[in-house]
Structure 1
Amino acid sequence: MSFSADALYKMSEVELLASYADARRQFVEKKFARDTQRARLAWIRAKMFTSSRGGITERNMAIDVSEEIARKGQEVREMTRELDLVKVEVDIIASVIRFRGAPAPVGGHGEDASEGDTGHEGDRAASD
């Protein structure tokens, strides 16, 4: 998608709102995919931890040096970068909409693309 700020400002309101809706949809899809991969990675780590032998330190070291875990972790980081770029597009389109004098689009705009890598639901609930 990637529109320039000038192109966004020259769009009609209908086109601008359609672009905003498309960008939000793309953001949500990428966020779901990234969160799914993050959960799969956590599951693989937990499965490796329980199936390994030795103490906690040895188990954690075996997980940390695992090539599969490292590769999947890199994939999650790349997905997070792509998610951040889509979030920037959503924010730019929302800024153009506000700059034109229209009320800010309503939606999950307050969502943060990089919520942290803890993956704990309790952490998010505590910060709300």
Structure 2
Amino acid sequence: MSLSADALYKMSDVELLAAYVESRRQFVEKKFTRDTHRARLEWIKAKMFTGSSGGVTERNMAIDVSEEIARKGQELREMTRDLDLLKVEVDIIAIVIRSRGASAPAGVQGEDLGGGDHAEREGRSGSSD
């Protein structure tokens, strides 16, 4: 969608709410897709770990140097970036709605649209994202 703040502010209330609903729908769809990819990546890592021989360190090293895991981890990071950008768009639309004097759309006030993903990502290191 990528509308400017000025364009959003000039929209009618109906258009603005429609833009908000569409942005939220896109956000939820992308979040589901990202979370599904994250779960698949973790499953692949677990499968590789159990299928490998050697000690824990050797198994983890084999997973860390796997080209497939690295590629999937990069895809996951790119999906997370796109999701974060979409969240910003949803937040901007909600700000414009609130600036017009209306209360925020239901479910937005106090809700973390990212689902706590930032804290989760910051707590981890490596290519698991």
Shift of the 34–59 alpha-carbon distance from structure 1 to 2, 3 Å rule, reads same
What is aligned with 1:87? 87
Q: What SS is found at the alignment partner of 1:110?
A: coil
State the TM-score, normalized to the length of structure 2. Answer: 0.88
In structure 2, how many angstroms separate the alpha carbons of the residues matched to 1:35 and 1:49? 21
Runs of 5+ consecutive residues of structure 2 not aligned to the other structure: 125-129
What is aligned with 1:111? 113
Structure 2 counterpart of 1:19, one-letter code: A
Identity across the alignment (%)? 73
Runs of 4+ more than 4 Å apart: none
In structure 2, how many angstroms separate the alpha carbons of the residues matched to 1:37 and 1:104? 31
What is aligned with 1:72? 72
Runs of 5+ consecutive residues of structure 1 not aligned to the other structure: 120-128
Structure 2 counterpart of 1:110, one-letter code: D
2:32 corresponds to 1:32: yes
Matched residue count: 119
What is aligned with 1:122? none
What is aligned with 1:48? 48
In structure 2, how many angstroms separate the alpha carbons of the residues matched to 1:77 and 1:52? 26
Q: How does 1:3-42 map to 2 (within 5 A)?
A: 3-42=3-42
